[in-house]
Amino acid sequence: MDNDRSDLHIMRLRGRRLALRYLLLAGAAVLFLAPLYWMIASSLKPEYDVFARPPIWWPSPPRWQNYVEALTKLPFGRYAVNTLIIAVFSVVGYTLSCTVVAYGFARLRAPGKDTLFVLMLATLMLPYPVVMIPQYVIFSELDLVNTFWPLILPAFLGSPFYIFLLRQFFMQIPPDLEDAARIDGANLGQILWYIMLPLARPAMATVAIFSFQFAWNDFLAPLIYLQDQSKYTLMLGLSFFRSSFQVNWAYLMAASLTVALPVIILFFIAQREFIEGITLGGVKQ
């Protein structure tokens, strides 16, 4: 049933329209893949060939050992585990906390709400480098430096970006379902759990993907909070390929690609959730 309805508003594409669609997709894809192609090609070259002029379009033979060498120079396995821990906590924390907070901003009326909303957005407007040090001092006083806590704790306290996203999403949904439920005597918790959560799945999945990626790619916070190398994340590990005076490009490309792979795979698999997810065809008057 749902499939029919969603397909309908996404018009069945046939014939010329289908061909045109594929043409556009292919064209855009080539553009978007161009940098990736160069990264992969570079990662398979010996270091001194990476910037050869005229450029070597594809190395022969491709130096697959670059990947093994790059990833074994440092304990990337451990870095991956560290990053995964932080990322998973981030995802759980952000999705749960932000959904609840967003619901409040979207649906509940209260004095001071608009001011708080603007205040919340305002916290995004001050560049991180200047709040970095006072926040560091706070965590330092709490003796939480050189642990994962400064990287995980904020997840459970929401993030304006995701809260805003979910709030917009909630506000796009007609309140009919909730009103009906309220009339039937449902309370806040029940409404949240049984009605809003299922409806919010596409947006929550989006938040999940974004927060995972952010945790995976974060550099500045791990830089200052993680001191001993056994706790380093993947991004810190990648920075090792860039020493002050020279960079090992082939290794850096190989390692960067490998590090990005989990997020890419996650996106590929999870897109079902936030793109082909539940449509709201079920809302009846």
Partner 1 sequence: MHMTRARRREALAFYLCISPWLIGFIFLTVGPMLYSLYISFTRWDLLTDPVWVGLRNYTVKMPNDERFWQSLKVTVLFTLAYVPLELIGGLALALLVQSRIRGIRLFRTIFYLPTVLAGVAFVVVWLWMLDPRGGLVNLILARFGVVGPRWLLDPDWALSALIMMSFWGWGRAMVIYLAGLQAIPGELYEAAAIDGASGWTRFWRVTIPLLTPTIFFNLILSIISTFQSFTNAFVATNGGPLDSTLFYVLYLYKQAFEFRAMGYASALAWVLFVIILALTLVVLRSQRFWVFYAGERSDG
Partner 2 sequence: MKHNTVRLLLAASLVLLVALSACYAPATPATAPEPAAGEEPAAEEPGTVILRAGTGDSGEGLNPHQSIIADFEDQNPGILVQLEAIAGRDYYTRILTQIAADRAPDVMNIGDDAVPSFVSTGAFLPLDECLASLDFDPSVYLPGLLDPGTVDGQLYFLPKDYSTLAVYYNKAIFDAAGVPYPEDGWTWDDLLTTAQALTQDTDGDGQTDIYGIQLPANWTTGFEYWVAAAGGSLISEDGASYVGYMDSPEAIRAAQFYADLYNEYAVAPPPADLSAFGGGNSDFDTGKAAMRIFGRWPQAGMLENPNIDLGVVGTPSDAVEANILFWGGFGIASTTEHPAEACKFLSYYAGPEAAKTWKDWALPAAIEVAESPEVAGDPFNAVWIDELGKLKPRAYTFTPFWNETADPALRKALETILIDPTADVAAVMQQAAQEAQSALDELLAEQGG
| CA 260-262-266 angle, 5° bins | 120
| In the complex, minimum distance from the CB of residue 197 to partner 2, in angstroms, rounded to a whole number | 14
| In the complex, minimum distance from the CB of residue 19 to partner 2, in angstroms, rounded to a whole number | 42
Candidates 39, 88, 117, 136; binder of partner 2 (CB under 8 A) is: 136
Candidates 58, 171, 194, 198; binder of partner 1 (CB under 8 A) is: 171
Judge whether 266 and 212 are in contact, CB under 8 Å: yes
| In the complex, minimum distance from the CB of residue 231 to partner 1, in angstroms, rounded to a whole number | 20
Give the closest residue to 282 by CA, choosing from 209, 198, 219.
198
126 conformational bin, left if phi > 0, alpha if psi -120 to 50, beta if neither: beta
Residue with tokens 């995802």: 91
Query: If binding is defined by CB under 8 A, does position 78 make contact with partner 2?
Result: yes
Query: Which is nearer to partner 2, 115 or 244 (by Cβ)?
Result: 244
- Three-state DSSP state, 110: coil
Could you say which DSSP state residue 247 is in?
B
* Residues 218-277 close enough to bind partner 1 by CB under 8 A: 219, 235, 238-239, 242, 247, 249, 252-253, 256-257, 260, 263-264, 267-268, 271-272, 274-277
Query: If binding is defined by CB under 8 A, does position 20 make contact with partner 1?
Result: no
Residue 65, binding choice from partner 2, partner 1, none, Cβ under 5 to 8 Å by partner class: none
Query: If binding is defined by CB under 8 A, does position 230 make contact with partner 2?
Result: yes
| In the complex, minimum distance from the CB of residue 201 to partner 1, in angstroms, rounded to a whole number | 9
Helix H segments across the chain? 2-9, 15-43, 65-73, 76-107, 113-122, 128-141, 149-152, 160-172, 176-183, 188-190, 197-199, 201-217, 220-225, 234-239, 249-274
| In the complex, minimum distance from the CB of residue 169 to partner 2, in angstroms, rounded to a whole number | 21
Give the closest residue to 247 by CA, choosing from 70, 7, 80, 1.
70
Task: Give the separation between CA 210 and CA 44, rounded to whole angstroms.
Answer: 30
Candidates 9, 10, 15, 143; binder of partner 2 (CB under 8 A) is: 143
Six token digits for residue 88: 């998973």
* Residues 56-75 close enough to bind partner 1 by CB under 8 A: none
Residue 183, binding choice from partner 2, partner 1, none, Cβ under 5 to 8 Å by partner class: none
Candidates 3, 115, 244, 285; binder of partner 2 (CB under 8 A) is: 244
Residue 243, binding choice from partner 2, partner 1, none, Cβ under 5 to 8 Å by partner class: partner 2
Phi and psi for 217 in degrees, rounded to 5?
Answer: -95, 0
Amino acid at 214: F
How big is the site for partner 1, counted in residues (CB under 8 A)?
A: 112
Query: If binding is defined by CB under 8 A, does position 53 make contact with partner 2?
Result: yes
How big is the site for partner 2, counted in residues (CB under 8 A)?
A: 54
